[in-house]
Structure 1
Amino acid sequence: MSTLRWGLSLSLGGELAEPARVAEIAAAAEAAGWDGVFVWDHLWHGDDEPFADPWVTLAAIALATERVRIGPLVTPLPRRRAQVVAQQAATLDRLSDGRLTLAFGLGSDKRAEYSAFDEPTTDAREMATSLDAGLEFLVPALSGQPVPSAGDRRTTITCVQEPRPPIWVAGRAGRSAGPRRAARHGLEGVALVGRAEWGPDDVRGALEAGSFKPGAVDVALVGGTSADPEALAAAGATWLISELHPGTSIDEAMQRASTPGH
């Protein structure tokens, strides 16, 4: 049976666009016994709700906490430059004393976060190719190894975690693309979305899709709830992460953070 950890994932719009207040919420979550505090990586939620930057906010969280895992959940790598992400991630891993967990995915143009800026990558297949290329860069870069696509040079400062911070790939429950991508790149886990209620079959399906044994990788279940967390852990789940959606007030977020997830 895997050990199930409990996390919070905060959107960064509205009242939660203030990094200092989000850091206070993270500190409250740590004091209440949560295992991780993560933040959304979006430009906006609607036409009139821009989001704060996740990396700056995570730096504030790192300085306000000592124990919890932190990270972006999920960074859409195709609209980021991998070399900049590597620099940000390595710096944040140092700042947090080795508490960073990374999560990457395709992202979506549902709210025009690509097309509003004439990003060349909006087709799903092109986005998948871009995600794979970014992961191929990040794995050696964050491990302190020479990067072939960068002229076989080291591009990133050394991380605290060895060989690098763990990386999860986002995937939808019941689909194989995320787990297969994690296996192909030798990554540490998958972050599954798409269920209002999680069950053991969701976990087993992800492990089977990536040909992973239970406990070999993280299986993070993001959003949704579970009536039987122990059954999820028995199937191989390692994280159950609650989301605080756009529109959540500071007071509501603080109340949720102050209540243990388990």
Structure 2
Amino acid sequence: MKVRIGFGLGTRTVANDAERFGLVVDELERLGFDSLWLSERISGEGPDPIAGLAFAAGRTTRLKLGTSVLVVPGRNPVVLAKELASLDRLSGGRLLPAFGLGVADPTEQAAFGVRREERARRFDEALPLLRRLWSEEVVDHDGEFYSCKGVSVRPRPIQDPIDLWMGGIAPSELRRVGRLGDGWLPSFCTVEEVRAGIAAITEHAATHGRAIDPEHVGALVAYRHGPLPELVARFVRQRRPGADPEELIPERAALPEHLERFVGIGASKFVVLPIVEPADWHDELGWLAERVLPLQR
């Protein structure tokens, strides 16, 4: 099993100018991290994932480029297929797209122009259409939300096929991963929840005549320095009622052992993310490279 460690910036990062963001990108490449992951939040300080990853692609030759996650409902799938195919091609096949429905926030949903009750149906229609646009010479589609006739998306991505990852741990989300996904990258979850999720996804995939590569399971793991800020704890309680925020967000010193427990139940692809912006990016990434990157094997 190939264990890989990526780094995420999250939606609250202020590393959103050329100097600070460029520093993070350059250090991740130099230190040997597997990948950089950008999250999407219209109202967040973090850079747009597609624009930010294009910037990163131009500064690197090895670092993979992930979205954690890219919101699909509210986007034109044909335009999205063109954007992502171009990014994959210009980066030399380094794109790692993870998709989602978007955060359950009225302001964010309004920005994408999609009613909450439509999000899942739009997502379920768009993902198979993306696959077709990347693989078929000419695509005709007439669905509930999207319609196109005689469309050809060029250039083709280098990866054939591009693996489509998803997050989420709710039963409906696990069913969707089994039905449509190629990989699973949940966040704010326990080791036992990932263990149960792997079993559920495997079962759902089998009912649709599919199989998820066991190498395509991981977790986005946020970590902290010292006590968890109350604002963050409140956010986690809202997102995961009944869960212990401090269990879901370990201290940095415990991060290597925490990831090893995930490896023990079959997860192997990780994105680590500081819950609070570090004061010194050199020190932060250097510590992670020394203590966490040795898990890569």
Query: Contact 1:8–1:38 (CA<8 Å) still a contact in 2?
Result: yes
- In structure 2, the residue matched to 1:171 is 168
- In structure 2, the residue matched to 1:188 is 182
TM-score for the superposition, normalised by structure 1: 0.82
Larger radius of gyration: 2
Q: CA deviation at 1:216?
A: 2.9
Q: 1:159 aligns with which of 157, 162, 168?
A: 157
Q: CA deviation at 1:120?
A: 3.4
Query: Contact 2:85–2:155 (CA<8 Å) still a contact in 1?
Result: yes
Q: Percent identity at matched positions?
A: 23
The alignment partner of 1:103 has SS state of: strand
- In structure 2, the residue matched to 1:55 is 50
- In structure 2, the residue matched to 1:252 is 280
Q: Deviations over 1:160-207 (max 9, x none)?
A: 1112x22101212xx33333212212x320110123xx42x2332122
Query: Contact 1:188–1:217 (CA<8 Å) still a contact in 2?
Result: no
Q: 1:121 aligns with which of 115, 121, 128?
A: 115
Q: 2:199 aligns with which of 208, 228, 242?
A: 208
Say which is worse superposed, 90-99 or 12-21, in terms of deviation. 12-21
Query: Contact 2:215–2:267 (CA<8 Å) still a contact in 1?
Result: no
Residues in 1 aligned to 2:51 and 2:212: alpha-carbon distance in whole angstroms: 34
Q: 2:67 aligns with which of 60, 69, 72?
A: 72
1:241 is the counterpart of 2:271: yes
Mind listing any 5+ residue stretches in structure 2 that lack a counterpart? 142-147, 206-210, 223-249
Query: Contact 2:163–2:182 (CA<8 Å) still a contact in 1?
Result: yes
Residues in 1 aligned to 2:128 and 2:212: alpha-carbon distance in whole angstroms: 25
Query: Contact 2:8–2:37 (CA<8 Å) still a contact in 1?
Result: yes
- In structure 2, the residue matched to 1:98 is 93
Query: Contact 2:178–2:212 (CA<8 Å) still a contact in 1?
Result: no
Residues in 2 aligned to 1:177 and 1:156: alpha-carbon distance in whole angstroms: 33
Query: Contact 1:92–1:100 (CA<8 Å) still a contact in 2?
Result: yes
Q: CA deviation at 1:130?
A: 1.0
Residues in 1 aligned to 2:153 and 2:212: alpha-carbon distance in whole angstroms: 34
- In structure 2, the residue matched to 1:33 is 32
Say which is worse superposed, 36-45 or 228-237, in terms of deviation. 228-237
Please tell me the root mean square deviation across aligned C-alpha atoms, in Å: 2.5
Residues in 1 aligned to 2:16 and 2:104: alpha-carbon distance in whole angstroms: 21
CA 1:20 to 1:143, structure 2 compared with 1: closer, same or farther past 3 Å? farther
TM-score for the superposition, normalised by structure 2: 0.73
Mind listing any 5+ residue stretches in structure 1 that lack a counterpart? none
1:107 is the counterpart of 2:102: yes
CA 1:182 to 1:223, structure 2 compared with 1: closer, same or farther past 3 Å? same
- In structure 2, the residue matched to 1:230 is 260
Code of the aligned partner of 2:129: F
Residues in 2 aligned to 1:64 and 1:107: alpha-carbon distance in whole angstroms: 29
Code of the aligned partner of 1:42: R
Q: Deviations over 1:85-109 (max 9, x none)?
A: 1111111101110010001111124
Residues in 2 aligned to 1:220 and 1:190: alpha-carbon distance in whole angstroms: 6
Code of the aligned partner of 1:171: G
Query: Contact 1:142–1:159 (CA<8 Å) still a contact in 2?
Result: yes
Q: 2:130 aligns with which of 113, 138, 152?
A: 138
Residues in 2 aligned to 1:145 and 1:133: alpha-carbon distance in whole angstroms: 19
Aligned residue pair count: 245
Richer in helix (by share): 2
